[in-house]
């Protein structure tokens, strides 16, 4: 039984693609067959984060238009052979996606993969709508700031009304909240909204809290999903989040301001 997971947010720049890449990689590393699809037609980024930008020959729009087969368009990850990437088209726009086309491609993928991760574009227009429409689950990425929280609230509303599961009366889709760019120090200083604030406003619990960290940018630039860097707090936090997505129960980490140990203080670590 395969599942379609949409990673969405409403607002741009909150970490959807970073999260899609790490969630897909995390699920694959746990032995599942995973494909991650870039729905951001015209602003293709996922291939960069996954480090396969030079291997894109055919893309999602080619498959929808019947110009290429799925097999031709899917890019196998070099690090994790049970993970595939379906890149977006950079030369087209969101109108190239059609509901029928997306549905056909997803159905074809369902036959071969356990998890289909859909990296949604920002906004709530056609691209984002189609990314969420066929989802069984949603990961809503939110930053601890008011505009992102409001946009997420809007997206949660759309997920509860504008998805096929809901329209066909098959029940709600499962909603998860992923709080990214969390900086415990700034929260303690009162500059940033706290986890509690965000959970209260949105009325759902988080799947994970990803601390703001330098490794995220480095990983993105080098084409390695940050979840592969298990020495970094962000990588560990994504790993926890993926475990929770699969039903494991793990305590939240990285919520407190890091206290430096005696040796670190002595030697300036």
List residues near other proteins by CB under 8 A: 98-100, 124-126, 129, 149-151, 153-154, 156-158, 160-162, 200-203
As measured in angstroms, the least distance from the Cβ of 153 to other proteins is 4
Among residues 102 and 117, whose Cβ is nearest to other proteins?
Answer: 102
Among residues 120 and 213, whose Cβ is nearest to other proteins?
Answer: 120
Spatial neighbors of 114 by CB under 8 A, at least 6 apart, are 2, 3, 27, 32, 33, 34
As measured in angstroms, the least distance from the Cβ of 224 to other proteins is 35
Count other Cβ atoms within 10 Å, centred on residue 181: 23
DSSP string for 198-256:
HHHHHTS-EEEEEEP-HHHHHHHHHT--GGG-TTSHHHHHHHHHHHHHTT------S-S
Place of tokens 């509901």: 99
Among residues 53 and 153, whose Cβ is nearest to other proteins?
Answer: 153
Among residues 127 and 235, whose Cβ is nearest to other proteins?
Answer: 127
**Contact assessment for residue 152 and residue 21, using Cβ atoms and an 8 Å cutoff:** no
Backbone angles phi, psi at 19, to 5 degrees: -70, -40
Among residues 79 and 172, whose Cβ is nearest to other proteins?
Answer: 172
As measured in angstroms, the least distance from the Cβ of 193 to other proteins is 13
As measured in angstroms, the least distance from the Cβ of 252 to other proteins is 22
Spatial neighbors of 236 by CB under 8 A, at least 6 apart, are 230, 253, 254
Q: Is 19 left (phi over 0), alpha (psi -120 to 50) or beta?
A: alpha
> How far apart (Å, rounded) are the C-alpha atoms in residues 63 and 35?
15
As measured in angstroms, the least distance from the Cβ of 148 to other proteins is 12
The Cα angle at residue 239 between residues 205 and 141, in degrees rounded to 5: 45
Pseudo-torsion of CA 232, 233, 239, 242, nearest 10°? -140
**Contact assessment for residue 60 and residue 89, using Cβ atoms and an 8 Å cutoff:** yes
As measured in angstroms, the least distance from the Cβ of 23 to other proteins is 23
As measured in angstroms, the least distance from the Cβ of 123 to other proteins is 9
Among residues 52 and 130, whose Cβ is nearest to other proteins?
Answer: 130
Among residues 4 and 35, whose Cβ is nearest to other proteins?
Answer: 4
């Amino acid at each position: 039984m395969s599942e379609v997971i949409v990673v969405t947010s409403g607002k741009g720049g909150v970490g959807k693609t970073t999260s899609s890449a790490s969630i897909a990689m995390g699920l694959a590393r746990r032995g599942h067959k995973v494909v991650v699809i870039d729905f951001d037609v015209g602003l293709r980024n996922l291939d960069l984060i996954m480090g396969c930008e030079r291997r894109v020959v055919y893309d999602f729009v080619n498959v929808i238009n019947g110009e290429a087969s799925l097999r031709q368009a899917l890019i196998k990850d070099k690090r994790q052979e049970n993970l595939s990437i379906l890149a977006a088209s950079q030369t087209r726009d969101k109108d190239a996606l059609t509901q029928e086309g997306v549905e056909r491609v997803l159905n074809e993928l369902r036959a071969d993969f356990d998890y289909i991760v859909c990296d949604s574009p920002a906004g709530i227009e056609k691209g984002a709508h189609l990314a969420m429409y066929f989802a069984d689950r949603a990961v809503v990425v939110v930053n601890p700031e008011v505009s992102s929280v409001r946009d997420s609230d809007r997206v949660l509303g759309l997920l509860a009304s504008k998805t096929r599961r809901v329209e066909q009366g098959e029940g709600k889709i499962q909603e998860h909240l992923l709080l990214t760019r969390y900086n415990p120090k700034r929260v303690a200083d009162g500059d940033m909204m706290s986890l509690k604030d965000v959970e209260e406003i949105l009325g759902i619990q988080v799947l994970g809290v990803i601390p703001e960290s330098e490794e995220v940018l480095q990983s993105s630039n080098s084409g390695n999903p940050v979840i592969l860097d298990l020495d970094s707090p962000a990588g560990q936090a994504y790993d926890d989040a993926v475990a929770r997505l699969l039903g494991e129960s793990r305590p939240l980490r990285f919520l407190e301001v890091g206290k430096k140990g005696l040796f670190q203080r002595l030697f300036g670590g």
